[in-house]
């Protein structure tokens, strides 16, 4: 979760967006927290490496709360194609390709009153 200014200063990338992943937290008496979505545009060819979790397993809820949404990692190529990446992945990026990281939501806590 490096600050956008630091990323853009240290690497040839532009942070296209950094937002809340609305609705990604699990339901429950106390809803799990929402994850984030970060979209990076590469300004020159380079390699991106991702080390992340909860891409293959749900972020579990507790005491009857529901699981949060799994995270997603993918590359949007300049030709419009999308390449899904695993939780631990490496990809070669070309100029103007984008890497999107959607972090998982938190699991909910407790049974919902509804």
Q: Give dist(CA 96, CA 69) in Å, integer.
A: 28
* pLDDT tens digits along 83-108: 999 999 999 999 999 999 999 999 99
Model pLDDT for residues 8-67, shown as the tens digit of each residue: 999 999 999 999 999 999 999 999 999 999 999 999 999 999 999 888 899 999 999 999
pLDDT at 114: 62
Total length of the chain: 114
pLDDT, position 8: 95
Alpha carbons 30 and 107: distance in angstroms, whole number? 9
What rounded mean pLDDT belongs to the chain?
Answer: 95
Domains with residue ranges and CATH for the chain: 4-102 (2.60.40)
What is the rounded CA–CA span in Å between residue 43 and residue 13? 5
Beta bridge partners of 98: 41, 76
> What distance in Å separates the CA atoms of residue 30 and residue 54, rounded to the nearest whole number?
20
């Amino acid at each position: 979760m490096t600050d956008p200014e630091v990323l853009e200063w240290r690497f040839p990338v532009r942070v296209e967006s950094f937002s809340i992943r609305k609705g990604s937290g699990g339901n429950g008496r106390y809803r799990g927290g929402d994850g984030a979505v970060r979209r990076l545009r590469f300004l020159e060819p380079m390699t991106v490496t991702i080390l992340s979790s909860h891409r293959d397993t749900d972020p579990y809820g507790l005491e009857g709360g529901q699981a949060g949404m799994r995270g997603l990692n993918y590359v949007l190529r300049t030709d419009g194609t999308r390449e899904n990446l695993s939780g631990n992945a490496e990809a070669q990026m070309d100029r103007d390709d984008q890497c999107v990281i959607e972090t998982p939501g938190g699991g909910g806590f407790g049974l919902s009153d509804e």
